[in-house]
Amino acid sequence: MDPKETFNQLLTHIQTNFKRRKGIERWLTEPHWNALYHFYVQLDFAAIICQPTEKTRFVVIDTETTGWHAYSGDEIVSISMLEMQGLQLTGREYQTLINPGRPIPPETTAIHGIKDEDVKNSPSIPEVLQDVIEFIGDSVIVGHHINFDLRFFNKTMQKIMLCKFINPWIDTMLLYTAHSGRMGHYSLDEVASICKVENLARHTAWGDALATAKIFQRIAKHMLKPNMVVSDLIRIQHEVGHF
């Protein structure tokens, strides 16, 4: 059977039976969650990073959260993911509000505008995890300060499937420092301004994901050379002042 067909069948079964399952401790012992776990952790990392960049599927991710501390009680309140093939946006997107299961502090609502009443009927992060995994698939993940977002996803992955996302990732802030040679910690606003990328929906997951995708396009096109593969781009992002 085709692996992608098997993967989709597993996701369909999980989605159908999710509401009948009670208790996080039982999810991985359920055969289909267990099968999904084994399917995912066996992703061929080496094959992904050996792909030519122009033939690679990238997924740009941004989240809004209740705060900054994934492992101290903060949770996701909004997710946006945008698909790219090479450096081109395909138009395929995934976005949803998330019920964090806790009050959203006024100080974070002041940043992203999401209130408790906006998310009270939204799904929880465990309820959308299968959709997130399906959309990401075997892509290369892209984000600005991407490890911030991955910490929130991995916290839930660890609880449910006892594993974390193993996909290769590209951080547009690191790409910027590699391209510019400027050491420092640069916000999305700062890099967008330098790259002349306008973000009309700042501090929304979708707006920030789109700005990140455009930054990735603009910087990567200057860094990529003929026949470069994903591993070259991953390596270069860690070489400050590469150019």
Give the domain ranges of the chain: 43-236
- Neighbouring C-alpha atoms within 13 Å toward the C-beta of 166: 15
Report the DSSP pairing between strands 88-97 and 169-171.
unpaired
Tell me how far apart the alpha carbons of residues 129 and 107 are, in angstroms, rounded to a whole number.
Answer: 27
Model confidence pLDDT, tens digit, residues 74-129: 999 999 999 999 999 999 999 999 999 999 999 999 999 999 999 999 999 989 98
Q: Report the pLDDT value the prediction gives residue 1, as an integer from 0 to 100.
A: 53
Tell me how far apart the alpha carbons of residues 1 and 3 are, in angstroms, rounded to a whole number.
Answer: 6
Model confidence pLDDT, tens digit, residues 143-196: 999 999 999 999 998 888 878 899 999 999 999 999 888 888 899 999 999 999
Model confidence pLDDT, tens digit, residues 196-218: 999 888 889 999 999 999 999 99
CATH class assigned to 43-236: alpha beta
Q: Please give the structure tokens belonging to residue 197.
A: 């990328």
